[in-house]
Structures are given as structure tokens and as C-alpha cells.
Amino acid sequence: MDMEMAKQAVTAKAGVAGRQIALVRRACAMIDESEGERLTLAEIAGALDVSPWHLQRLFKRVMGVSPRDYSDARRSAAFRQQLKQGESIAQATYGAGYGSSSRVYERAERLLGMTPASYAKGGKGAEIAFDVVDSPLGRLLVAATAKGLCFLSLGSDDAALVDELRREFPQAESITRDRHSIAQSVAVVIDYLEGKTPHAELPLDVQATAFQRRVWQELIAIPCGETRTYSEIAENLGVPRGQRAVGRACATNPVSLVIPCHRALREDGGLGGYRWGMERKAALLESEADRPE
């Protein structure tokens, strides 16, 4: 192939990629403008004059999630926003496009991590136990509901750590320091920080969008002692230009250490951001480098 033909081939590929992205953007716009009405894949594909199979494959490659997951995430976001603005659960249910309140409650655990009433009012109804202990990285706060771990934080001041927890769940039914009920969770996290185990595996009670779940699953899949760049994680998710979205999903992780966002690095190998400071991120990576998987 001569130089001119090569240039034409590159231009043609770029044109195809541009048209594919434009098609996915149109599909996203249709979902966004549906105002909560459930559009089927066939309806979207028909409006765009493509096959459902082609749209499904292309949408997932560009966005990293299926059209249905994208729609669910948008409805979930609208639902949470209306709850936060003071709407009743019934009003928020129909405003976000759910067919009935029973449908919301069936999916509440997956969408919110708590019941809708709890999330709407800053954790109202949640009973949270916590403890603050010494760790190799400073003072460690571990908090959990009956369902699982809901919050982790590192720092140097106990009062500041507890204040952070209370801000996260300002209207929880109870936030109680209970060393006995939280002891097992604390022990798992401490064993991990002390290098006794390669992972801190605990049941979780956290909220997440479909995309956040996929990013967090990728983080959990990174072997102890290894790292991935934000771009590599995005590539694995089928979203080649999604490194910023991956970074945001890491930043919103409320249970870092269990979901190891410290294993995600910048493209140039730099540490990037970290909720508890670069020194702690570097220390975590250094301590993991010599651990057995």
C-alpha cells in the first residue's frame, strides 16, 4: 500500500469511528429525552435505522455499558435527585419513570445500597456501627451496616474521622461506636494493611451506578502487587477514552482498600490523586509489592 492509499485508509477509519460515536450520542440523547419512559432497544434502533444487535454492540463499546444499563443509571440518578429535593417516594418513583413503587423497592438495594427513604434523607433508617483503631497508615475508621461495610477512612484525628462519617450519613437512625459488632471487619482491614492477606474481602453496602460497579470490579480484579493505568482500565471496559470517568469512579469509592483504587495510576506511571494523600498511596503500593498473591 503506497502512502496516499494509507492516508485514505486512515481517513476512512476515522470517518467510520466518528459516525459510530455520533450514532451512540443520538441513542444517548433519545434515552436522556425520554423523561423516564422506558424505551426498548428495538425502538431506539428503529429510530436510528440500525439493527438492535448492532446498536447494542456499538453502544457498549463506546459507552462501556449497555443501553439498558445507561437508561437505568439515568433513571436512578433522576430518582435520587428528586428524593434529595424533597419529593415523596411516590412522586420520585413516577417522576423518574418507574412503573410502580414496588419496582423501586425491588431494585433499591442494587441502585442505592439502602432503602429509598434512607438514601433520600442522608441515611435515615440506617443503623451504622463503627470503630476507630490504629493502623500502619494512621488512625483507621471502619463502619458497617447489617448488610456490609459502608465506609472507610484514614486520618490522624479520631474526631475528624467520626465527623466525616456523620456527614456522609447525617440522618442515620444510629451511628454507634461498637467495637464488638465491627470487630471482624476491622480485623480483616488491619490484616490487609499489615500485609497478612493480599486483599481485604468483606461484604459491602455501598451505592453505585452501573459504570461505577464495572470500574470497581476491574479494580478488585487487579492482583495485589500490580497496578493499572486509568487508560488501561478504560480499555478493559471497552471505553478507550474513558480514563477521566474511571478516575471519577475511583474518587467516589467510599470503601477504598477493600475496593483498591490505589492500584490505579496515571498514564505516565505517576500516582495520580488519592483520597488520603500521595504518601499513603505510595506506602500501600510499596507494601503490596512483596506480598504473595
Q: Find out whether 23 and 58 touch, Cβ atoms under 8 Å.
A: yes
Q: Please give the grid coordinates belonging to residue 58.
A: 456499538
Distance CA 44, CA 86 (A): 32
**Burial zone of 67 (CB within 10 Å; 0-12 exposed, 13-18 middle, 19+ buried):** buried
Sign of the alpha-carbon torsion through 118, 126, 110, 186: positive
Told to judge if 250 belongs to the known catalytic residues of this protein, a careful annotator would answer no
Of 125, 61, 115, 66, whose CA–CA distance to 93 is shortest? 115
Among candidate residues 28, 150, 250, 261, the one labeled active-site is: 261
Integer CA distances (angstroms), 153 to 41, 139, 148, in order: 41, 8, 15
The residue count for the chain: 293
Catalytic residues: 261
